[in-house]
Amino acid sequence: MSGSSQDLKKEWFEKARIDYHSLFIMLWLSCNSWYNFHYSLTNDREHINKIKSDRSSNNKLYQSFERLFLSDDKEGADFRNNITQLHYALIQAELEYRGNDIPNGYTKMIFENLLTDFNKKTDNTSYQNVIISDARTKTGKLKKKYSDTHDLGDLVVVEDLGILFAGIFEIIYQVRCHLVHGSLKPSKENHAVVRCCYLILWDCLKGFCE
């Protein structure tokens, strides 16, 4: 067999890239089907608000999030790493919350600015900074006063997983809205956010969807 007359490694390599945009939308449809059946509320926003606020065993999505976040096994480590990667991806992408009535200075979707209560989006107290920037000593150890926080390695986040879940799930929904309504620029930076949202949502859903 004669050798190839041209080097096509770049062309085939590009075709092998995973497009998380379409995968994310299909995964969201799974989530959508679950909450429509499970809660049976009027519209998507009511369902999202309910999921973000429900800490009971009825909320399988939150229960999966909590279990994975606190797990000491590889699955838990991978899950926490995906959350860390989402934090960095959001910084690069500079995506904004949808809505013209959001206060100035609170429009960007970042971990220092998580929207926990969408019904109060005009109130700046509904935006929470979950990153503790001064959590470590000069030698890199966690300060004693932050012993109850969650150390993710590169990040230290607040103790309250309910706040973290509510903010991250709102981001996932906001990314879904940007995609569906055509306002998400198909850039490498935005694709990285979609990828992280997909991986986090996949891990939360697979516990009760597989």
Predicted pLDDT of residue 55 = 94
- CA-to-CA distance for 150 and 59, rounded, in angstroms? 22
Predicted pLDDT of residue 4 = 62
The partner residues of 151 in beta bridges, in order of sequence, read 156
1-12: average pLDDT:
74
* Collapsed DSSP state (helix, strand, coil) of residue 99: coil
CB count within 10 Å of CB 45 equals 13
Q: Tokens for 107? A: 């429009």
Average per-residue pLDDT for the chain: 93
Closest by CA position to 142, among listed 156, 154, 130, 129: 156
If pLDDT is split at 50, 70 and 90, which confidence band does 14 have? Answer: confident
Predicted pLDDT of residue 3 = 60
Predicted pLDDT of residue 1 = 47
Q: Tokens for 39? A: 């809660």
